[in-house]
Amino acid sequence: MACSVLALALVIERFVSLKTAKIAPPRLLDEVLNVSRSAVPAPAVVAQLAQNSALGEVLASGLRALNHNPRCSESDLRSAMEGTGRMVAHRLERYLAALATIASAAPLMGLFGTVVGMIEIFGSQSPTGGATGGNPAQLAHGISVALYNTAFGLIIAIPSLIFWRYFRARVDAYLLTLELASESLARHLNTLRK
């Protein structure tokens, strides 16, 4: 039960946190390129960009590097954006490991419950094979209850695994978008300085 509640909470949190508007708004790169067409924007504009989204944070780190040192090298500019990109990537991947752990552990917990239940069922049966032996109906009922543990583990694990794969693919797509956008901004700022 605890795993199912935790998995549901993680799935809801990831759906809310991984919205496109919060991570990589579609027109943000074009707006940044237009604003920086003739000069690097002022620090106040860069600070506002950093608050916009994860993509804005990565792009702002490159603009901030040029605001601090207008003669910084292209490698320093890229390094600043890569460092911020790594922090953003870590935030995007938050809780995905927990969801993957639930998907892996839930069937094992169900299997453990089944094994413990089977041990109890067979341990409660009469050791003598005479007329006072165990009740077959009781034995069958006990086995079915024990197997429910495995079923519940799978009921938790399968959706957790599906959502983990979905969110993993979504994060990978966002990271590719951030990488391509930062590369585009680095090329733009390099030509701007020449």
In the Cβ-directed half-sphere of 6, how many Cα atoms lie within 13 Å? 15
Task: Give the confidence band of 67 by pLDDT, cuts at 50, 70, 90.
Answer: confident
Residue-wise pLDDT for 72-87, tens only, equals: 888 888 999 999 999 9
pLDDT for 38 equals 83
Q: Supply the mean pLDDT for the chain.
A: 88
Rounded distance, CA 54 to CA 60, Å?
A: 10
pLDDT for 129 equals 52
3-class SS of residue 121? helix
In the Cβ-directed half-sphere of 10, how many Cα atoms lie within 13 Å? 27
- Predicted model pTM: 0.82
Task: Give the confidence band of 100 by pLDDT, cuts at 50, 70, 90.
Answer: very high
Indicate left, alpha or beta for 95 from its phi (over 0: left) and psi (-120 to 50: alpha).
left
Range of 104-108, 111-115, 161-165 with top mean pLDDT: 161-165
Residue-wise pLDDT for 35-56, tens only, equals: 888 888 888 999 999 998 999 9
Cα angle 105-106-111, degrees, rounded to a multiple of 5: 95
In the Cβ-directed half-sphere of 190, how many Cα atoms lie within 13 Å? 12
pLDDT for 61 equals 93
Rounded distance, CA 189 to CA 37, Å?
A: 9
First to last CA, the chain: 62
pLDDT for 125 equals 65
Is pLDDT above 90 for 173? yes
Q: Are 164 and 99 in contact (CB under 8 A)?
A: yes
Rounded distance, CA 44 to CA 128, Å?
A: 85
